Amino acid sequence: MSNSPFLYPNVTSIPGQTFVGDTERLQKKKEGGLSEFDEVLNQVKAPLKFSAHAFQRLKERNISLDPATLAKVNDAVDKAEAKGVEDTLVLTKDAALIISVKNRTVITAVDRNALAGNVFTNIDGAVVI
């Protein structure tokens, strides 16, 4: 066993070589449909990311997001994406988050106590969780 931290796959075919089971998947791809691999990738949602600015705001404003809240925020981003929203305001019990839906990135965060009087611009949707 090697001490290398990398796992190397067991290569069993030569690039460009087609097996009987692969023919149908390749044909589907050529016809303009999605390959089996592409379909799986489309079902997997990218994790939520935080910009440096948002991370700094979370620290400065003592906003903590537990795993349950993060799961709800991810679901909110999925809902916004399904409606065609590009930039959304997500309101949690403790904070307001501006999120780029396309990039799945939290752009900034404001704690609930500081929300009064704020105007949020450059958003085209809001989700309350």
pLDDT in tens, 47-68: 899 999 999 999 999 999 899 9
Please compute the mean of the pLDDT values over residues 100-108 and round it to a whole number: 95
The answer to whether 60 and 84 are in contact (CB under 8 A) is no
To the question of pTM greater than 0.85 for the whole model, the response is no
Average pLDDT over residues 16-21: 52
Nearest to 52 by CA among 7, 1, 95, 109: 109
pLDDT band at 40 (very low <50, low <70, confident <90, very high): low
Question: Are 105 and 49 in contact, with CB atoms under 8 Å apart?
Answer: yes
Answer yes or no: is pLDDT of 3 > 70.
no
Does residue 111 carry a pLDDT above 80?
yes
pLDDT at residue 47, rounded to an integer: 83
